[in-house]
């Protein structure tokens, strides 16, 4: 029986490639001839070794990572990374620079402050309700690191280019735009990404860490909160989230073998975003919330003339097979999350509906 699937614009957990879901379905009861589901095999088995090592290798190839970088899989989501980073990399005699571009970076700042770690918020876009990415930031040359959030899912802003921080490593939350575009990873000491938006299902955080950052990890950090624990044991110090890592591996395979790499994925993502933003900009009915030069290619946030129309829009969109368009509860409005797995056809279906809704209600 064919599934009745909608166009999925959920912000996370979000759409996965249909071919990935079909492969999971086909092999779910008998993984690689083992007679067991991927959810049943031992994480110490040769079968799972092959899965996790393939996911690490594909991550390195897609991002063109050299031997200085290790790929880790950690539970706890990006939110646990907010506390792990200052624990691992911020000694009492050093300070770190944070850039506050909205909800998730604000939470990262809070987690460092809870630990009484010496940090400085060197730039913020709070003055305009986080509608832009700060420019011309003066970073501290002696900082232990600079912390950024590459994409703001709630406010719809994104770093199109990362700042020059000199010799200071950037530690970056890329939960909502990892694998959406090529990266020059040389300026990053650590990249982390909750998989559930753009790389897989909920339950695992992808962490890319440079070897020199591992050398900074102190011994007095709890075992499961130390990056060196995961690096030393191939992310299998304890039982990892096997199914989530397996799904990430399949998504990476799709990116590499079906899409053809991150350059092609970035072009597709640009086409999707342009289609939506062009409609919004050409309308007197819809209004984008992010400043033009800071707009996200992953999360398109917009408002309608009033909240009643927004509620009607979200409800009628769902009735027409378009789901996940309600804005975050903290800001309201509407939001289309157009991550890698959201197809161009889905975005065209959305823009067709938006034009129809405007014609009836504008």
Q: What is the DSSP letter of 150?
A: S
* 19, 26 Cβ separation under 8 angstroms: no
CA 274 from centre of chain: 20
Q: What are φ and ψ of residue 317, in 5° steps?
A: -60, -45
Q: What is the DSSP letter of 328?
A: P
pLDDT given for residue 35 in this prediction: 96
Say how far apart CA 325 and CA 107 lie, in whole Å. 24
Say how far apart CA 235 and CA 55 lie, in whole Å. 12
Q: 219 pLDDT exceeds 50?
A: yes
Statement: 261-361 belongs to CATH 3.90.1150.10:
yes
pLDDT given for residue 362 in this prediction: 85
Strands (E), 16-134: 69-74, 96-100, 119-124
**pLDDT digit string, tens, across residues 148-181:** 999 999 999 999 999 999 999 999 999 999 999 9
Domain parsing of the chain, residue ranges = 21-258, 261-361
Q: What is the mean pLDDT of residues 285-291?
A: 97
Q: Do domains 21-258 and 261-361 have the same CATH topology?
A: no
pLDDT given for residue 4 in this prediction: 87
Say how far apart CA 63 and CA 326 lie, in whole Å. 32
Percentage above 70 pLDDT, the chain: 99
Q: Is the peptide bond before 13 cis (omega within 30 degrees of 0)?
A: yes
pLDDT given for residue 2 in this prediction: 56
Active site residues: 104, 173, 197
* 183, 148 Cβ separation under 8 angstroms: no
Q: 289 pLDDT exceeds 70?
A: yes
* 176, 298 Cβ separation under 8 angstroms: yes
Half-sphere exposure for 52 (CA within 13 Å, toward CB): 26
C-alpha distances (whole Å) from 331 to each of 46, 244, 263, 302, 307 are 47, 30, 33, 11, 11
Say how far apart CA 70 and CA 48 lie, in whole Å. 18
Nearest by Cα to 9 from 265, 206, 268, 300:
300
**pLDDT digit string, tens, across residues 16-42:** 999 999 999 999 999 999 999 999 999
Q: What is the mean pLDDT of residues 303-326?
A: 98
Q: What pLDDT band is residue 1 in, cutting at 50, 70 and 90?
A: very low
Q: Helix crossing, 344-361 with 262-281: angle to 10°? A: 0
Considering the domain 21-258 in this protein, what is its CATH number?
3.40.640.10
Say how far apart CA 71 and CA 78 lie, in whole Å. 15
**pLDDT digit string, tens, across residues 120-129:** 999 999 999 9
pLDDT given for residue 91 in this prediction: 85
Measured at the CA of 33, the angle between CA 27 and CA 38, to 5 degrees, comes to: 50
**pLDDT digit string, tens, across residues 348-358:** 999 999 999 99
Q: What is the DSSP letter of 41?
A: S
Query: Average pLDDT, whole number, for the chain?
Result: 97
Nearest by Cα to 239 from 22, 25, 45:
45
pLDDT given for residue 319 in this prediction: 97
Would you tell me how many other CB atoms lie within 10 Å of the CB of residue 236?
A: 16
**pLDDT digit string, tens, across residues 193-210:** 999 999 999 999 999 999
Handedness of CA 26, 345, 153, 261 (dihedral sign): positive
Half-sphere exposure for 353 (CA within 13 Å, toward CB): 21
């Amino acid at each position: 029986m064919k599934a009745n699937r909608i166009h999925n614009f959920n912000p996370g957990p979000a759409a996965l490639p249909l071919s990935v879901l079909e492969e999971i379905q086909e092999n779910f009861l008998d993984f690689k001839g083992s007679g067991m589901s991927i959810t049943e095999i031992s994480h110490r088995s040769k079968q799972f070794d092959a899965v996790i090592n393939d996911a690490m290798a594909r991550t390195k190839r897609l991002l063109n990572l050299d031997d200085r970088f290790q790929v880790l899989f950690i539970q706890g989501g990006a939110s646990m990374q907010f506390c792990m980073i200052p624990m691992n990399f911020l000694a009492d005699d050093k300070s770190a620079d944070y850039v506050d571009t909205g909800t998730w970076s604000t939470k990262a700042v809070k987690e460092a402050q809870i630990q009484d770690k010496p940090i400085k918020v060197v730039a913020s876009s709070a003055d305009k309700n986080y509608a832009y990415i700060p420019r011309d930031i003066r970073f501290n040359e002696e900082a232990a690191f600079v912390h950024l959030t590459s994409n703001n899912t709630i406010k719809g802003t994104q770093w199109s280019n990362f700042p020059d921080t000199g010799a200071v490593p950037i530690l970056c939350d890329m939960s909502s735009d990892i694998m959406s575009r090529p990266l020059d990873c040389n300026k990053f000491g650590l990249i982390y990404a909750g998989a559930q938006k753009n790389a897989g299902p909920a339950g695992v955080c992808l962490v890319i860490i440079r070897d020199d950052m591992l050398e900074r990890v102190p011994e007095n950090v709890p075992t499961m909160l130390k990056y060196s624990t995961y690096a030393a044991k191939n992310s299998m110090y304890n039982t990892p989230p096997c199914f989530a890592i397996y799904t990430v591996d399949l998504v990476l395979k799709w990116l590499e073998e079906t899409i053809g790499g991150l350059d092609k994925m970035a072009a597709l993502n640009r086409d999707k975003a342009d289609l939506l933003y062009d409609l919004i900009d050409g309308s007197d009915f819809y209004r984008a919330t992010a400043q033009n030069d800071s707009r996200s290619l992953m999360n398109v946030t917009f408002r309608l003339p009033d909240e009643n129309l927004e509620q009607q829009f979200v409800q009628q969109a769902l009735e027409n097979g378009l789901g996940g368009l309600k804005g975050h509860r903290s800001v309201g409005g509407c939001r289309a999350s157009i991550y890698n797995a959201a197809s161009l056809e889905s975005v065209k279906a959305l823009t067709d509906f938006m034009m129809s809704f405007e014609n009836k209600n504008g």
